Copies of this chain bind each other. A is one copy, B any other.
Amino acid sequence: MPEQTEKGYDLCAVAGTIRLISGKYKAVILYHLMDESLRYSEIHRYVPYATDKMLAQQLREMEKDGLIVRTVYPVVPPKTEYALTEFGRTLRPLLLEMAKWGETYFLKEKAAGPGAE
For A, the interface residue count at a CB cutoff of 8 angstroms equals 61
Which of A51-59, A73-81, A82-90 is the interface stretch?
Answer: A82-90
Residues in B with CB closer than 8 Å to A46 are 7-8, 11
B1 and A98 form a contact (CB under 8 A): no
8 Å CB contact of A103 from B8, B9, B20, B106: B9
Q: Are A106 and B20 in contact (CB under 8 A)?
A: yes
Contact A28 B2 (CB under 8 A): no
Q: Which residues of B contact A114 (CB under 8 A)?
A: 4, 64-67, 87
Q: In the complex the two chains form, is B91's CB within 8 Å of A101's CB?
A: yes
- Chain B proximity of A20: nearest CB distance (Å): 7
Could you show 9 A-B contacts with beta carbons less than 8 Å apart?
Answer: A1-B100, A1-B103, A14-B27, A15-B102, A17-B27, A66-B113, A66-B115, A87-B109, A94-B101
